[in-house]
Amino acid sequence: MKKNEDSPLPISRREALKTCGVAMGAAALGSLIGCKNDSQPAGPGDDAGTDSEQTPDAGNGPPDDEIPDVALVKNGTFEQNVSMALAMMGGIDRYVNQDDVVIIKGNGQWPNHGYTHTGCIRAVIDEIFSAYPSFAGEILICDNVQAYGAAGQFGFDATPSHRNHNWDVYNWNELAEHFHQAGRPVATRRWYSAEANSSPADDISGPADGEGWIREFFEFPPLQAYLSYPVFESPLTPGRMIDPVHGVWEGGATGGYTGRRVRVIQMPTLNYHGPYAGVTSAIKSTFGSTEIIDGAYAQFRGAYNIHHAAFQGDNGAYAARSGELVARYLQRFYAPVLYLTAAIWVGHNGRWNTPAAADTVLACLNPATLDYVACRDVIAPLSTNHVGELDPTVDSLARRQIEGCVAGGIGTMDEGSFTLQIHDFSA
């Protein structure tokens, strides 16, 4: 499905909500649990509040009770779907300020429909520049892909033959270069896991130590596990360090946090992920925000990464445990300010099998409720072979993954506790 490279003008929130239908009425936005992101948690062992303030501006946009917990937009162009979803959620300026460093964290792991739709990423960037014509921050497209696949098959560098059921105009690197040539502060940054034999000297405690990963080791019975988040140098501003938890650091080893915020917008895909995880979407996309050192099943200093730590017991246990680990990550490190699922093409029978054209974008402040709606209303109805694994309203792998995340304090699956607004451009 080829879309026009030139995006239409973004839809204003007032115009968008004139035509929105409320599909489900329930409690106000404040009923969601744990992932409102009114503040970003300090890293493990840190003293909360000692570093730069990372709270959003409460004055941007309408009050919470006018915004749905989940927005679902379908049957427009990808540009229209993204613009409408953001308008329904209060507008991009509710989540991003004029001088923020914005990380757009996509899923870059697999070719074709397996990586986040590049056109949807472009549409989000267009919305930021439309809201702030003199945007003074940075926009960085990021992910940490595992050591699978091959050059030319990841979202960053996908060649034309690996962009099927995606946007065939650009891959992520080319999109960033397109903006860069136009004088816009956009770049990509692929995060890389440390090597398995890295020494304690390779650890960092913060941006004063340079690039690296902030790690937390802990017991996750019946084994030891670790999680981590990246601190990295901006590819646009030499010497500027990006810390997703505490903000922007400048001045090297003797410098400090500048007060400039880092805001993460997570943009997952929506694909079936085999008879152990059920679905790859908002929850599981967090796997790319941490390290998977030396492959999915390896130990690092006696502990297992997020992938293997979930592989204990049967397949159903994997799904639930992966949700629990993601909830821990969001509670202990940082939570994105917004999730935007790019379900333009949906791998309803797998990440490699021919997908279905859903032409849908969903938005939410937390991954659990977002995945519940995306599975219930989008991928499960499309699936012909895996409905029993993707239907979150019954005991399924998708439901168990969401249950694990909810048990960790993130989101809800209670249909009486969240609001859903649907806009259908074909209606």
Which whole number is the average pLDDT over 283-294?
94
Give the C-alpha separation, 392 to 407, whole Å.
15
SS3 content of the chain, % helix, strand, coil (to 5): 30, 20, 50
Which whole number is the average pLDDT over 65-79?
95
The pLDDT of residue 39: 33
Element (H, E) at 79: helix 78-88
Q: Does the pLDDT at position 18 exceed 80?
A: no
Which whole number is the average pLDDT over 167-178?
98
The pLDDT of residue 14: 41
Which whole number is the average pLDDT over 32-57?
41
The pLDDT of residue 132: 98
Give the C-alpha separation, 423 to 71, whole Å.
8
More confident residue, 371 or 310: 371
Q: Cα(first)–Cα(last) distance of the chain, in Å?
A: 21
115-160 pLDDT, tens digit per residue, is 999 999 999 999 999 999 999 999 999 999 986 778 999 999 999 9
The pLDDT of residue 385: 81
Q: Which of 231-235, 321-325, 346-350 is predicted with the least confidence, judged by mean pLDDT?
A: 346-350
The pLDDT of residue 197: 72
Burial of residue 391 (number of CB atoms within 10 Å: 0-12, 13-18, 19+)? buried
Beta carbons of 396 and 5 less than 8 angstroms apart: no
Query: Could you tell me how many residues make up the chain?
Result: 427
Q: Does the pLDDT at position 30 exceed 90?
A: no
The proportion of the chain whose per-residue pLDDT surpasses 70, expressed as a percent, equals 83
pTM of the model: 0.88
What integer best gives the mean pLDDT of the chain?
86
Q: Does the pLDDT at position 362 exceed 50?
A: yes
What phi and psi, each to the nearest 5 degrees, are found at residue 116?
-60, 135
Which whole number is the average pLDDT over 278-305?
91
Q: Does the pLDDT at position 171 exceed 80?
A: yes
Burial of residue 194 (number of CB atoms within 10 Å: 0-12, 13-18, 19+)? middle
The pLDDT of residue 277: 84
More confident residue, 28 or 269: 269
247-265 pLDDT, tens digit per residue, is 999 999 999 999 999 999 9
Q: Which of 79-93, 219-233, 302-316, 337-351 is predicted with the least confidence, judged by mean pLDDT?
A: 302-316
The pLDDT of residue 31: 30
The pLDDT of residue 21: 40
Q: Does the pLDDT at position 271 exceed 50?
A: yes
Helices then strands, each counted (H, E), the chain: 11, 18
Domain boundaries, the chain: 13-424
The pLDDT of residue 264: 98
Q: What is the DSSP string of 367-417?
A: HHHHHHHHIIIIIHHH-SS-HHHH-TTSS-HHHHHHHHHHHTT-----TTS
Which whole number is the average pLDDT over 189-218?
89
Confidence tier at 55 by pLDDT (50, 70, 90): low
Q: Which residues pair with 105 in a beta bridge?
A: 142, 266
Q: How many Å is the Cα radius of gyration of the chain?
A: 20
Which whole number is the average pLDDT over 321-350?
95
Beta carbons of 342 and 117 less than 8 angstroms apart: yes
The pLDDT of residue 34: 32
Q: Which of 129-138, 195-204, 220-229 is predicted with the least confidence, judged by mean pLDDT?
A: 195-204
Which whole number is the average pLDDT over 67-73?
97
The pLDDT of residue 353: 76
